[in-house]
Amino acid sequence: MNQYIGVDIGATKIAAGLISGQKIVKKIKVKTQAKKGKAQTVKNIKKVIAELYVSNIKGIGVGIAGQVDTNKGVVISSPNFAKNFKNVELKKILTKEFEKPVLIENDANCFVLGEALYGSAKKYDFVVGLTLGTGVGGGIVIEKNIYHGTDGFGGELGHMTITNKGLKCSCGQYGHLEAYASGTAMSKIFKQLTGKQKKALDVEIEAKNGNKQAKKVFNMMSESLATGLANIIHIFNPDAIVLGGGLAKVKILIEPTIKMTKAKLIYPELKNTKIIATKLKGDAPILGAASLLKNNKKR
């Protein structure tokens, strides 16, 4: 049976798996050490692949947050990494190191592809996905292939504008979905309302314990996320939207969001759009990355 390696690179950790068929037969994690610079990060990427490497693998797929030139296999920029981690020719580096085919992709695209092929969205042909974590990532998969758009940067759904001004996004602009529906947003909104600085998890705990200001934070986030989801449904009319990331598991955010989303849709048929949670969780981007070599078609 053909085997592949899938790698999911985040600013904190690198998770990777050896995939045989549709299963991860071995999985490991190492620290990214992103703040130590490009050389250390690349060294750690090589390390995790080397630990999984077997001679009969067919190729290596890599997902990483940020702007990726998938044609050239170059990471143009990646948030929360060192300043010198720009224009990294990762495909070239890894191909030379391991002498196997390598493909590089945005991590959110890998997440959606993994879910569309093997997870909660596998029975659907047109799937849009959002990863709700520190930021908001997005991806579009049509007939089991990633939609990249004209220049390869389609699916940046976290940067859709949902208000004209508002909070500042990680990209430097204002009013984006990411600025209102992420872990970072949770802390910022709470500080805006109370003047107090708290971590996202602490705000969540306070909301569950009935704190009025913390509950207001979640109301604002649900309204913002619902606006984003309604926009996605009106524009794309997908079969399903799959939600991943840590915040996708928070019921006090997601349950009101789904109700609000349905209320914003103008046609009854659009209300049939499935809004579903990840089934594969952390394995989705690994499986999606490994599948890049099996599903190497461009849109």
Q: What is the pLDDT of residues 57-91, one digit of tens each?
A: 999 999 999 899 999 999 999 887 999 999 999 99
Report the first-to-last Cα separation within the chain, whole angstroms: 28
- The CATH number of 122-278, from 3.30.2010.10, 3.40.50.150, 3.30.420.40, 3.40.50.12280, is 3.30.420.40
- Specify whether the CB–CB gap between 155 and 109 falls below 8 A: yes
Mean pLDDT throughout 257-278?
97
* Nearest Cα residue to 3 out of 56, 61, 81, 66: 56
Q: Where are the alpha helices (DSSP H) in the chain?
A: 38-52, 90-98, 107-118, 183-194, 200-208, 212-236, 251-264, 284-291
Q: With 0.75 as the threshold, say if the pTM is over it.
A: yes
Q: Indicate if 122-278 has the same CATH topology as 3-110+283-291.
A: yes
- Please state the φ and ψ torsions of residue 147, each to the nearest 5 degrees: -90, 120
Mean pLDDT throughout 157-169?
93
Mean pLDDT throughout 189-210?
96
* Residues facing residue 106 across a β-bridge: 64
Mean pLDDT throughout 6-32?
94
Considering the chain, what percentage of its residues have pLDDT values greater than 70? Answer: 98
Using CB atoms within 10 Å of the CB of residue 281, give its burial: 0 to 12 exposed, 13 to 18 middle, 19+ buried. middle
Confidence of residue 299 (pLDDT cuts 50, 70, 90): very low
Judged against a pLDDT cut of 80, whether residue 48 lies above it is answered with yes
Q: Is 89 strand, coil or helix?
A: coil
Residue 243 CA to residue 110 CA, distance in Å, equals 13
Residue whose pair of structure tokens reads 């990494």 in the numeric block:
81
Q: Token pair of 60, please?
A: 């290596």
Residue 116 CA to residue 284 CA, distance in Å, equals 9
Mean pLDDT of the chain: 94
The answer as to CATH 3.30.420.40 being correct for domain 3-110+283-291 is yes
The domain spans of the chain are 3-110+283-291, 122-278
